[in-house]
Amino acid sequence: MDQNDQEDAVSPEKVRRGRRTALLLFAIGFGPMIFATIMYYTGWLNPTGHSNNGELIQPPAPVGQMQMEGADGEPLADRFGPEASDPEWMMMVVSGDCTANCEELLYRARQVNIALGKNANRVNRSAWLGSVPEDLSARWDEEYRSMERLSIAGDESPRWPPGISPDQEPRILLVDPFGNVILHYGTEHTGKDMLKDLKHLLKLSQIG
């Protein structure tokens, strides 16, 4: 048997071995996150009996459907999922006209992020705001410089998750490292509500 025949003979086994290795690496990296998500939504095997304080989005909505892009002009959805180099959690404030209720949520997201302490760097903050009053614009760099401003890509119209209508009511959306919007919060929720949910999710998750 010549060298080419030998390579052909072992090639299928190498392919199978490569697939097994890829599946194993995926399971190690993302298995805990998938398991944590199932536990969080169902309460299955959850000894603390935790239930979320925010409003669940069922089914979770892919962040890509909102047609957002970051300050760098790149699609926001590219930051999430198995192929992302550093998948992240994100709190996203969405609002049409950013009036008092909108700014209350901007402030709340900032304070919750700070309250996460050593885990604060695992959660990014962003905002899509249809319009911003002059006084908030003047204060933005001082008070919210760590909050990335998002925009709508091109002439596309965002498809918001069920129950979300930023023109009518500002909300904070929580995006998981897979790029799914899983929870949302409004002014009826306290910072403690959000902080409790985030701490629980970050404790269960090994991703992001």
- Transcribe 27-85 into DSSP letters: HHHHHHHHHHHHHHHH-TT-TT----SSEEEEEEEEGGGGTEE-TTSSBGGGGSSTT-S
What pTM was estimated for this model as a whole? 0.77
The position carrying tokens 């902080």 is 195
Instruction: Taking residues 188-201, report their average pLDDT.
Output: 95
Contact (CB, 8 A) for 172 and 194: yes
Q: What is the pLDDT of residues 23-42, one digit of tens each?
A: 555 544 555 555 455 444 44
Kindly report each contact of residues 102-106 with a partner whose C-beta sits within 8 Å and lies 24 or more positions away, as own/partner: 102/129, 102/170, 103/136, 104/187, 105/170, 105/171, 105/172, 105/185, 105/186, 105/187, 106/144, 106/147
Q: What is the pLDDT of residue 21?
A: 59
Check whether domain 55-204 has CATH 3.40.30.10, yes or no: yes
When pLDDT is cut at 50, 70 and 90, the band that residue 149 belongs to is: very high
Q: What is the pLDDT of residues 59-107, one digit of tens each?
A: 999 999 999 999 999 999 999 987 777 778 999 999 999 999 999 999 9
Q: What is the pLDDT of residue 37?
A: 53
Instruction: Taking residues 154-165, report their average pLDDT.
Output: 88
Q: Pinpoint the alpha helices (H) of the chain.
A: 3-42, 100-115, 134-143, 191-204
Q: Where are the domains of the chain?
A: 55-204
Which of 144, 127, 133 is closest to 99 using CA atoms?
A: 133
